Amino acid sequence: MRDWCTLDVPSVLAWAARINAGPLAWVGHSMGGFATGLAHNNHLIDRQLNVATLSGYWGHMARPERYRVRLLMGYGAPVLGRILGYFPGFLIGGEDLPGPAFLEWARWCMLPGFLFDDPTLGETANFARFRAPIRFAQIEDDPWGTPAAVGDMASHFTGSIERSIWTVRLADAGSARIGHVGFFRSEFRDTLWRLAADWLDGAPVARG
């Protein structure tokens, strides 16, 4: 799991900075939002919006979902990951994941400090080096990205010149359901997407 954050994301950032002369904005969903915290070259980002980005510790999640995650990640995932060599995505409402990646993810989810409690992950030091303005969209009905889970992850971006949490309420979006991935449904083009784009269009910060 860490390879996506410490190898792939830095490569994408370097490529984007090389081909783009203007400000570089990053929109990250879930893991995609905290992956830049682990990237050694996160100084290349001028502005970042995180959607449903959270600390994956099971105890931060909403009841009763936290207990399902505790059983799945703590007991089911290690067995299935080793037997099958991958983790079936339908069990968590997503895509299939490579076994080694999901096993590391499951282990992090059992730790109160999430990946910050992993002594082998020295790249967590890069979180403090992130300087750009960063905003976290916390979705009202996301059972994983609760205020506690999102707030915990946001607290680690200590070097950002501007940190904020945007509480996305169902009533404001005019919808009965958004959930963990629903922000990206086209029905929110003129509401949530517009608000997100307006924030991303703010005055860019010079790269350090």
In the block, tokens 């999102």 appear at 150
CB 142 within 8 A of CB 179: yes
Which residues, in sequence order, are CB contacts of 193 under 8 Å at separation 6+?
A: none
Give dist(CA 93, CA 79) in Å, integer.
Answer: 19
189-9-200-37 Cα dihedral, nearest 10 degrees: 120
**H/E run at residue 2:** helix 2-3
Q: Is 32 helix (H, G, I), strand (E, B) or coil?
A: helix
Query: CA–CA distance from 59 to each of 11, 84, 147 (Å)?
Result: 33, 27, 12
At residue 95, the pLDDT reads 86
Predicted confidence at residue 206, as pLDDT, reads 43
What 3-state class would DSSP assign to 63?
Answer: coil
Instruction: Tokens for 200, please give them.
Output: 């991303």
Q: Which regions in the chain score pLDDT beneath 70?
A: 203-208
Query: Which two tokens mark 179?
Result: 């959930």
Task: Give residue 208's pLDDT.
Answer: 42
Q: DSSP for 9-26, please give it.
A: HHHHHHHHHHH--S--EE
Residue type, 195: L
- DSSP structure string for 116-167: GG-TT-GGGGGGGG--S-EEEEEETT-SSS-HHHHHHHHTT-TT-S-EEEEE
Handedness of CA 123, 124, 129, 135 (dihedral sign): positive
What is the pLDDT at residue 82?
84
C-beta of residue 39 within 8 angstroms of C-beta of residue 9: yes
Sequence letter at residue 189: R
Token code pair at residue 129 = 């080096």
pTM for this one? Answer: 0.93
